[in-house]
């Protein structure tokens, strides 16, 4: 088995615990190099995480023959630029979500990797987490019968986002508002559990006026299978909630998308809680599947192809509201 030497672009919060350590704790994987626009930040990160090499740019990193794969952990505004560089260098790439600013950019990135025959993956890591695999197992077993509809309910105080300088509320960097950072995880996991979304209608507004993009969205959608769906997102509420419900002809499943609480499984016979452990480094199971695929042993469930469906949905959320 080959040891995959990773180069990481960006050292933001997501890399401290969720992803960074996973690259050097996964089997046959090493976080070999790091770069950041501010070299001192890269040097500090490397010292704290035991990374041997620091580069001034992704171009220097891609020129190093020791690099086997790249992880792009910057805000979305730079994803396409860096991904196209990786595709041209024929270096496999793992890209944070949302993968691109919009669906057109996403498809341009896919084309670039296709043309050079290079693998590409998206950081929709919930597809490999035990809690969502358990839900998928329940659905495949027919535990709640035929699925009728699903609903996402997500609201938060957004206290940390009232500063309009935060990257998540700068459309030129994020591709939209907080929705583009949060909802993509929820929509992608529904794609994983229930299949492709083919119809989208939405109402999008900015009620509080803390920043330029939207802060509340109400979305209705339909799956190719005929299952109905809806979602409500508000980032300026007085309290918080994180819930995905899937309702079928024989029962319902409810769970948090971002929390670690138990899965609720309910039928006419009653409700039960199913506890499921969450890894210390939440991206590690998906990163392990990427390493294994690069070694010819597995198939990662989250690629730029699967992620393209969520990019399409997000485009429709914004365009249908106009």
Q: Residue 293 class from Cβ within 10 Å (0-12 exposed, 13-18 middle, 19+ buried)?
A: middle
* Element of type H or E holding 264: strand 263-267
Pairing of strands 4-9, 29-35: parallel
pLDDT in tens, 222-275: 999 999 999 999 999 999 999 999 999 999 999 999 999 999 999 999 999 999
Mean pLDDT of the chain: 96
As a whole number of angstroms, the distance between CA 193 and CA 308 comes to 16
pLDDT at 8: 98
Looking at the DSSP bridge assignments, the partners of residue 4 are: 29
pLDDT-derived band at 161 (thresholds 50, 70, 90) equals: low
Average pLDDT score over residue span 28-41: 97
CA distance 90 to 37: 23
pLDDT band at 298 (very low <50, low <70, confident <90, very high): confident
Domains of the chain: 4-125+282-303 (3.40.50.720), 130-278 (3.30.360.10)
User: Is pLDDT above 90 for 3?
Assistant: yes
Structure tokens at 10: 């960006």
**Predicted pLDDT of residue 159:** 64
**pLDDT score of 160 more than 70:** no
Look at the alpha carbons of 277, 49, 20, 30 in this order and tell me if their dihedral is positive or negative: negative
């Amino acid at each position: 088995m080959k040891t995959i030497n990773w180069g990481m672009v960006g050292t933001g919060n997501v890399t401290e615990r969720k992803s960074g350590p996973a690259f050097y704790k996964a089997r046959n994987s090493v976080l070999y190099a790091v770069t950041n626009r501010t070299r001192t930040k890269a040097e500090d990160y490397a010292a704290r995480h035991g990374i041997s090499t620091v580069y001034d740019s992704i171009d220097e990193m891609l020129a190093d023959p020791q690099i086997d794969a790249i992880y792009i952990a910057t805000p979305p505004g730079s994803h396409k630029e860096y991904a196209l560089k990786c595709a041209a260098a024929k270096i496999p790439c793992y890209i944070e979500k949302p993968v691109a600013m919009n669906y057109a950019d996403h498809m341009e990135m896919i084309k670039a990797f296709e043309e050079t025959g290079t693998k590409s993956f998206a950081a929709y890591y919930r597809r490999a987490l035990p809690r969502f695999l358990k839900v998928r197992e329940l659905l495949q077993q027919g535990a709640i019968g035929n699925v009728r509809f699903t609903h996402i309910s997500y609201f938060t105080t957004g206290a940390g986002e009232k500063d309009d300088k935060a990257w998540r509320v700068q459309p030129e960097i994020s591709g939209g508002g907080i929705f583009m950072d949060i909802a993509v995880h929820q929509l992608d996991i529904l794609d994983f559990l229930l299949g492709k979304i083919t119809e989208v209608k939405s109402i999008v507004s900015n009620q509080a006026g803390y920043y330029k993009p939207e802060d509340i969205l109400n979305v209705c959608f339909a799956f190719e299978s005929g299952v109905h769906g809806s979602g409500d997102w508000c980032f300026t509420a007085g309290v918080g909630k994180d819930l995905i419900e899937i309702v079928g002809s024989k029962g319902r499943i409810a769970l948090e998308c971002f929390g670690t609480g138990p899965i609720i499984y309910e039928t006419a016979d009653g409700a039960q809680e199913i506890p499921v452990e969450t890894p210390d480094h939440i991206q590690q199971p998906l990163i392990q599947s990427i390493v294994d695929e690069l070694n010819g042993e597995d198939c990662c469930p989250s690629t730029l192809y699967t992620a393209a469906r969520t990019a399409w949905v997000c485009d429709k959320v914004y365009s249908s509201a106009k």
